[in-house]
Structure 1
Amino acid sequence: MARLVKVCEVVPFDEVAAKRVGALLGASATSDVVDAMVVLTAIRTRFTVVTSDPGDISEIAAFVHDGVPLITVGHRVPRAGPSGPALGSGRLHRGGVEVGIPHA
């Protein structure tokens, strides 16, 4: 975790951010403060959001003028054959296209 924090930008959740989050939650009729902060940070930094739970973030992002690029990882992926769905380990889904992710 210490190595990860060294390459990340830590974004403060100050009063200005709290008011923006509140406005976005009100507009989207949602209540997840963290997801709203993630969306606002993605807008400010122009970064893509990577998530394993796109539901709430997608709802919130829908109320933003330009939207937020979103990559979903780790969801169930339908497989051909009798084995049925499997958890998407090592798979990235973007726009309905499955892309292999190399393992470290």
Structure 2
Amino acid sequence: MSMQEQIRYALASAFAPQHLEVHNESHMHSRGQDSHFKVVVVSEAFAGLRPVQRHQKVYAALGELMAQFHALAQHTYTPEEWAATGQVPDSPTCLGGSKHDGH
């Protein structure tokens, strides 16, 4: 199972989301394959929580998987927030700085 699939499975199991996206954005960075991911999770589990609390829940749901990749961009919404927004901002372009850049 790929890292992307493992992340999807862990988040789906933890949050029973109404909407879930897991994007492998490693191609946008200099650290190689399966290093950078972006998730969009829409779940009632986020109701009443501040953004940092939502992110902590995602980190907890991923557990030991977190040590297996470099970066995770999180976009967490309640169903009501998602209905009002319905879109996720684009990820920024990587500025480099990795030991893998070959400088």
TM-score, normalization by structure 1: 0.30
Which of the pair has more CA radius of gyration?
Answer: 1
TM-score, normalization by structure 2: 0.30
**Structure with the bigger percentage of helix:** 2
Which has the higher relative contact order, 1 or 2, with Cα contacts under 8 A spaced 6 or more apart?
2
